[in-house]
Structure 1
């Protein structure tokens, strides 16, 4: 789905199916409760940046969860892919939610800051230079907390995802790209070795890695 010449119909179906697959495998409800909500509660609300927001399902969920907890939140989702941005913008508008077609480096250049900076399943898409740039940008953009969650490479994860998605998600890229993503992802040890000092790597179930950085600003 990253290819510029991919089937636009299958791509749109993929964006439409992301909320379901992310709800099952990504663990962001847990991450919100454990990491994001305490930061927002301590500030009586706040701002969140979702880097590589894709179709926007995580950004929308973050707004919904925060408001269920009585927290005022402003969430910005950024993605440099114009197709992802167009899809996110085509969904019903949500107060407090903004999407931009942008790289994180553009927001750094603008002097933007957010209480929480996060991403979901972005790290395995990046080469070494882009990976380092994302971490540097994240630290510059975050006042309090950075969370980057990604798949952990595992033969069990690959086998179960392959079997579990086989009867479903026809006509989209969910299964084929999901399997490719698992193959390209880091193990926990590889991820820990790739990050600079100040970053913490945590393993989460099922087969997720979490990069965490606290700035305390």
Structure 2
């Protein structure tokens, strides 16, 4: 289950990996932007294992949608801080095994590097502006740790990755206990 799936890029990567490894997967992309979902459906025409749904992350019905693993890539920074615990709680109800969130690190270095990078490589003013806004709305590790406190039923691992990102992996404690 990919929350904030955008154009479906991550789900296609998951489907390609699963095919190579011989796994059968059913992938669902959730997004609120119908234009993005239309692009995703067209780009995923050769992937029958992927479906897309228009849904507001904040009003999900966990009893209607379950998954083993939930991913959320570059989506969390689009929400207000007070909304994040709401959807994290929803995510925990949806995911049987775990959750992987990949989002931006907020830092002055990332901001200034993006300004330089975008001046050379990003063509439109709106894309430059949106990129800078996204970096400003990213997260610090202490902020992610504070959000993690709202999910004591999960085991949390938050790591910095190159290109000023954090990967936050949450595993259900019931799963961790099985393998220990």
TM-score by length of structure 2 reads 0.83
CA distance in 1, matches of 2:20, 2:119: 35
Matching of residue 57 in structure 1 with residue 14 in structure 2: no
With over 3 angstroms needed to count, the CA separation of the structure-2 counterparts of 1:205 and 1:58, relative to structure 1, is same
Among 174, 191, 215, the residue aligned to 2:127: 174
Tell me what 2:42 maps to.
Answer: 90
CA contact (8 A) 1:199 1:213 kept: yes
Indicate the residue corresponding to 2:141 in structure 1: 188
Specify the SS of the correspondent of 1:58.
helix
* Distance in structure 2 (CA, Å) of the matches to 1:68 and 1:161: 35
Superposition deviation, residue 62 in structure 1? 1.3
Structure 1 match to 2:67: 114
1:209–1:142 distance in 2 versus 1, CA, 3 Å: same
Give distance in 2, aligned partners of 1:158 and 1:66: 35
Pairing 1:2-41 to 2, within 5 Å after superposition: none
* Deviation by residue 1:33-92 (Cα, 9 ceiling, x = unmatched): xxxxxxxxxxxxxxxx00000111111111112212222211110001222222222324
SS at match of 1:153: coil
The alpha-carbon deviation at position 173 of structure 1 amounts to: 4.2
Kindly tell me: are residues 61 and 172 of structure 1, through their superposed partners in 2, closer, same or farther at Cα, counting changes over 3 Å?
farther
Unmatched tracts of structure 1, length 5 or more: 1-48
Counterpart-to-counterpart distance in 1, 2:155 and 2:113: 30
Partner of 1:214: 171
Task: Check whether the contact 2:103–2:167 (CA below 8 A) recurs between aligned residues.
Answer: yes
CA distance in 1, matches of 2:61, 2:8: 18
Length-normalised TM-score, structure 1: 0.70
1:67 equivalent among 19, 23, 35: 19
The count of corresponding residues between Structure 1 and Structure 2 is 168
| Residues 51 and 118, structure 1, Cα contact 8 Å, conserved in 2 | yes
Aligned equivalents of 1:171 and 1:183: distance in 2? 19
Q: Secondary structure at the match of 2:170?
A: strand
Secondary structure of the 2:130 match is helix
Paired with 2:147 and 2:18, the residues of 1 have a C-alpha distance of: 32
Ranges in structure 2 where 5+ consecutive residues have no aligned partner: 176-180
Q: Aligned partners of 1:151, 1:59: CA distance in 2, in Å?
A: 19
Quick one: structure 1 residues 157 and 117, their matched pair in 2 at CA, closer, same or farther if it must change by over 3 Å? same
